Amino acid sequence: MKKEISLIELYDIMYNHIDPNGWWVARSDWEIMWGAILIQNTNWKNVAKANISLFKKTQFLPQKILALSDEELIETIKSAGSYTRKAKTIKNLANFFNTYDFDLEKVTCLPKKDLRKKMLKISGIGPETADVILMYALQKGEFVVDTYCRRLFNCLGVDLPAYNKAKDLIEIRLDNFTLRHYQNFHAMIVLFNQDYKLPTQFEKSFLAPYKLIIAK
């Protein structure tokens, strides 16, 4: 019989086994943002390759990205796959920040809910990409319901509903979490998935003895 644990207890157990610090090192907030788009449904190695050429051409600066032609940008990020849409999405996001003079302080001072809504209106930015950008580039705490999260929760006996429903469900039980907590939680979930191929290797992991109870 598995021991039933809450979300908070899950966080604590993971924190005792995984060091989330230093995950996703980036040279700037801009690098995080383009990376969040490039990683959509692809693997990190392909993104890393795209990042090298994107940095060489633009130093990740949105002004320089907007100065590239669509063809140039596509060529630059090609290795990340789905490049036609991703190039457009990157420019859409760069244009969004253009309306704030590329001044991130003018963006981060907005209320987090409004900001998230605005970001979701940008074509190519869905809920997960928005949350990752909000959390790692714009200093807003969000729970990211990505594939890794769903996979882990499945192994812990929880089948999460659609994105926003799942996010609300979880965040309401983490109401005293700080930005750092949310970042740690997401990082640890990713790192766990990289350590253990799920669902096959779950039973040999340190989380095998547990069953997650969301309502608890």
Partner DNA sequence: ATCCAGGCTGAGG
Partner DNA sequence: CCTCAGCATGGA
Q: Does residue 161 belong to the site contacting DNA (CB under 7 A)? A: yes
53 binds DNA (CB under 7 A): no
By beta-carbon proximity to DNA, the closer residue of 146 and 210 is 146
Residue 205 within binding range of DNA, rule CB under 7 A: no
Residue 49 touches DNA, criterion: CB under 7 A: yes
User: Of the ranges 5-13, 52-60, 156-164, 167-175, which one interacts with DNA (CB under 7 A)?
Assistant: 156-164
Distance CA 213, CA 216 (A): 6
Answer for which of 3, 21, 159, 162 binds DNA (CB under 7 A) is: 162
- Number of residues in contact with DNA under rule CB under 7 A: 38
| Residue 125 touches DNA, criterion: CB under 7 A | yes
The 3-state DSSP class for residue 154 equals helix
Give the one residue of 21, 69, 84, 200 binding DNA; rule: CB under 7 A. 84
> Which residues lie below 8 Å from residue 104, measured CB to CB, with a gap of 6+?
29, 97, 137, 138
Closest of 7, 14, 9, 37 to residue 187, by C-alpha = 14
Asked if residue 46 binds DNA (CB under 7 A), the reply is yes
Query: Closest separation between CB of residue 209 and DNA, Å?
Result: 24
Contact region with DNA (CB under 7 A), list: 52-60, 101-109, 121-129, 173-181: 121-129
Q: Does 124 bind DNA (CB under 7 A)?
A: yes
* Residues 35 and 198: beta-carbon distance below 8 Å: no
Say whether residue 59 binds DNA (CB under 7 A). Answer: no
Asked if residues 78 and 56 have their Cβ atoms less than 8 Å apart, the reply is no
Binding segment for DNA (CB under 7 A), chosen from 55-63, 101-109, 119-127, 152-160, is 119-127
18 binds DNA (CB under 7 A): no
Contact set with DNA (CB under 7 A): 24, 36, 39-46, 49, 78-85, 122-130, 132, 146-148, 161-163, 165, 190, 193
